[in-house]
Structure 1
Amino acid sequence: MTLSKFKTACTVMLIALVTGCAQPFPEVEENFEASWKTNEYQAEAYLIPTADEAFARRVALVRNATSSIDMTYFSWDKNTLGLMLLDELKQAADRGVQVRITLDDLLVFNEKWLAELNEHDNIQIRIFNPFNSRKMGWIGRAFDFAGNQKKLDNRLHEKYFNVDHYSMILGGRNIGDEYFGFSKDANFFDMDTLFTGDIIKPFANNYESLWASEYVTPINELIYVKKGSDYRQFGNAYAKSTKKNPEVLAVIERSISRLQQPNAIPVEVTPVFDSLHKLHDNKPYFRTRAERTISEHLDSAKTAVISTPYIVPSDGEFRTIDRLTSNNTDVTLITNSSASNDSGFIPAYYEEHRTELLKKGVNLLEYKDDAINEDHYYHADTYYHNKTVILDSKLTYIGSSNFDPRSDNLNIEFGVFVHSPKFAKQIEHYLLSKKSELYWQVGLNKEMKPVWFSGDTVTTKNPNYSSIHKATNWIFRKMNSESEL
């Protein structure tokens, strides 16, 4: 999601929450999901090392596809990379490849440029949990949400890219310039992993369940496109983008031409999926299943690295962190600083919990708002978006969940636990090899107030976070909307 879109979405959520209210945390019985069974699968895992390669890999896979391409994303932007990938998918469909795309509806309005592609004989696009309002922009969405919050609060947050049921990419990236370092305005520091092997089958089965469910609607039932349009609006949008950003396309083609055979690692992988029942009861199916899957590891871990862009407690508690620290686990938490966070809401609550986390003994790293990622083509504002957990440098979580209240109770999520010391160390290197350049180390002074350290710089003022936020943060906290974040 671009920065401007996210700010707009926050404004809409503000309007909706003012006119409505945040949903309460659901009651969860003690034995909830106690019967959840997990299976381990063999796989080969390749941590894609740079942002531009993450996009180049997708294009290369599409160009070499022979039978099928299935995808799920929370957002797909109408910008250079979003349009380029759609054009590649159309060319694959022209060759006879069956293309299916599932998108969440939060950022899909009356997108005729997108709906046109559904007219292709080999392309199907379905929209998850659609809004009623489509032509009135964000204001229409806000009033739609306020009147139908219980239904519309649940969103599809999975990121899934499966080509020929042979290669699969999982991670935190959606599709758009800002997820691959090509936005001139703002980019995300994010991560993707390419998988092959037996692990693809359970994910394919999960996709089929979603595709066949009552919760997705063919896009042509929501957005009217004149028959015989010959993809005119899509073609015009792509041509305009190509003319505007030829250097970006040249860089991408160069990245594709330089791709080599992935140096994948043989691993054992345990998948965890959410339940569509969440749309009815908002219970934390994925979170509970994930914690039950690694329960023994959580209780025995000597070290833990937790990476998430959004630090918000569930029902006022950091239960997993408390579980780890009670066992004297050395916990490192990596997240956005207040200034680097792309959400206007999260810092309001995080400001209240930072000191609490430090008092628990957490080693806290906050992403700098002026951090420079060398693999980004444009160096603009950057936001932290990585989602992972690493236990004892052996067990690693890769997936879509932020492990925050919205991921726990409202969004549909999934992920995998990768059993491999070698892979875990690669993830640690990816996140922490440039620790001093990318992060503030946060601690407590004698007065038990936060202190930020970086090299020779020491400050007790929240870095680059102006005092003007005090007023807006107070308003956000008064809204008591933690369960929505």
Structure 2
Amino acid sequence: MTLSKFKTACTLVLIALVTGCAQPYPVVEDSFEASWVSNDYQAQAYLIPTADEAFARRVDLVRNANTSIDMTYFSWDKNTLGLMLLDELKQAADRGVKVRLTLDDLLVFNEKWLAELDQHQNIQIKIFNPFNSRKIGWFGRVFDYAGNQQQLDNRLHEKYFNADHQSMILGGRNIGDEYFGFSKEANFFDMDTLFSGDIIEPFADNYELLWESEYVTPIHDLISIKDNKAFQNFDKAYAKASNKNPETIAVIERSIARLSKPEALSVQVTPVFDSLNKLHDNKPYFRTRAEQTISEYLDNAETAIISTPYVVPSDGEFKTIDRLTNKDTKVTLITNSSASNDSGFIPAYYEKHRTTLLKKGVNLLEYKDDAINEDHYYHADTYYHNKTLILDSKLTYIGSSNFDPRSDNLNIEFGVFIHSTEFAKQIEHYLLNKKEELYWQVSLNAEDKPVWQSADTVTTKNPNYSKMHKATDWMFRKMNSESEL
């Protein structure tokens, strides 16, 4: 999601919370999901090493697809990369590939350029948990959300790309310039993994459950368009973006031309999926299943690396971190600094959680708002968006969950645990090989006040986080809306 869109989305939530209230945490019985059993699969896993290759791999998979492409995303932007990938999908559909796309509705309005593609005989687009308001922008969404919060709070947060049931990409990236380093305004530091092998089957089954469910609606039932075989709105939008950013298109084509066979690792993997029952009871299906899957690791780990863009406790507690630190596990937490966070809400609450976590003995790394990622083509504002967990450099999580209350109780999430020391070390290198350049090391001084350090720079002032934020932070905290974040 672009920075401007995210701020608008935050405004939507802010107004809705003012007119309504944050949903309470659900009551979860001790036996909840006790009978759920995980299954292991074999796979080949390839950590995609750069942002531009992550996009190039998707285009390459589309160009080489023979039968089908299934996708799920939280957001798909109408910018150069978003339109380019859709054009590639349209070309694949022209040669007979069956294309299915499921999108969350939070950022879909009256998008005729998108709905046009659904007219193609080989393209189907469905929208998850749609809003009633569509034609009057965010103003209508605010009132729709305020009046139907319990229904509309649940969003689809999965990121899934499956070509021919032979190759699958999972990770944190949505589709748009900013997720692949091509935005001139702001980019995300993110991560994707390419999978093949038996692991694709359970993810394909999970996709079918969502696709056939009552919770997704064909886009043509929501957005009215004239019979338009020429795809006029879409072609016009893509031509405009291409003409405005020819350099971006050229760079991507060069990245595609340089692709070689992925050097994948043979690994054992354990998938974990959410339940659509969450839309009725808001219970933490994914979180509970994930913790059951790795319970033995959590109880015996000597080291843990937790990576999330948004640090928010569940019901006021960091239960998993406490579970680890109580057994003297060395916990490293990587997250956004206050200044690098793309959410206006999170820093307000994180201000107090930072000190709490440091007192627990957590090794805290905060992403710099001026960090330079070498694989980003444009260097603008930058935000941390990686979601992973690494235990004892042996077990790694790759998926969509941010490990926050919204991921636990409101969003539909999934992920996979990868049992491989070599893969875990690759992820650690991906996150930490530029530690001095990308992160602040945060600790407590003798007065239990946070201290930020990077190389020779040491400061007790929250880096690049101005006093202007104090008033808005105070207001957000008064709203008591952490369960919605």
Cα deviation, residue 31, structure 1? 1.4
Query: Do residues 375 (structure 1) and 408 (structure 2) align?
Result: no
- Which residue type is aligned with residue 283 of structure 1? K
- Give the percent of matched residue pairs that are identical in Structure 1 and Structure 2: 82
Distance 2:109 2:350 in 1: 31
Structure 2 SS opposite 1:206: helix
Which residue matches 1:217? Answer: 217
Q: Give the alignment of 1:38-187 within 5 angstroms.
A: 38-187=38-187
Distance 2:224 2:16 in 1: 27
Report the Cα offset of residue 228 of structure 1.
Answer: 2.8
Q: SS where residue 412 of structure 2 aligns?
A: coil
Shift of 1:12: 1.0
SS of the residue 1:342 aligns to = coil
Hey, what does 1:262 align to over in structure 2?
262
Give 3-state SS (helix, strand or coil) of 1:311's partner. coil
For residues 331 and 484 of structure 1, what CA distance do their matches in structure 2 show?
26
Q: Secondary structure at the match of 1:44?
A: strand
The answer as to whether partners of 2:116 and 2:228 remain within 8 angstroms in 1 is: no
Per-residue CA shift, 1:171-218, capped at 9, x if unaligned? 000000000000000000000000000000000000000000000000
Distance 2:329 2:31 in 1: 25
Paired residue secondary structure (2:451): strand
- Name 1:245's counterpart in structure 2: 245
Are residue 339 (structure 1) and residue 339 (structure 2) matched?
yes
Aligned to 1:296: 296
| Deviations, residues 16-71 of structure 1 (Å, cap 9, x unaligned) | 11001000000101111111100000000000000000000000000000000000
SS in 2 for 1:464: coil
- 1:105 corresponds to which letter in structure 2? D
Residue aligning to 2:417: 417
TM-score (norm 1): 1.00
What secondary structure, in the 3-state scheme, does the structure 1 residue paired with 2:4 have?
helix
Please show how residues 8-47 of structure 1 align to structure 2 within 5 Å. 8-47=8-47
Amino acid at match of 1:398: I
The answer to whether the Cα contact below 8 Å between 2:104 and 2:155 also exists between their aligned partners in 1 is yes
| Matching residue of 1:439 | 439
Residue 302 of structure 1, CA deviation? 0.2
Measured against aligned partners, the alpha-carbon deviations of 1:421-473 in whole angstroms (never above 9, x if no partner) come to 00000000000000000000000000000000000010000000001111100
5 Å-filtered alignment, 1:247-396, equals 247-396=247-396
Q: Secondary structure at the match of 2:291?
A: helix
Task: Supply the distance in 1 between the matched residues of 2:283 and 2:261 (Cα, whole angstroms).
Answer: 42
The separation in 1 between residues aligned to 2:342 and 2:369, in whole angstroms, is 10
Amino acid at match of 2:312: V
Unaligned runs of at least 5 residues, structure 1:
none
Specify the SS of the correspondent of 2:286. helix
Cα shift readout 1:376-416 (whole Å, capped 9, x = no counterpart): 00000000000000000000000000010000000000000
Q: Could you state the TM-score of these two structures normalised by the residue count of structure 2? A: 1.00
Look up the equivalent residue of 2:366 and give its one-letter code: E
Kept after mapping to 1: 8 A contact 2:93/2:99: yes
Size of the aligned set, in residue pairs, is 485
**Amino acid across the alignment from 1:115:** A
Partner AA of 1:341 in structure 2: N
Distance 1:391 1:84 in 2: 38
CA offsets per residue over residues 221-274 of structure 1, 9 Å max, x none? 000010135200000000000100000000000000000000000000000000
Moved over 3 A (4+): none
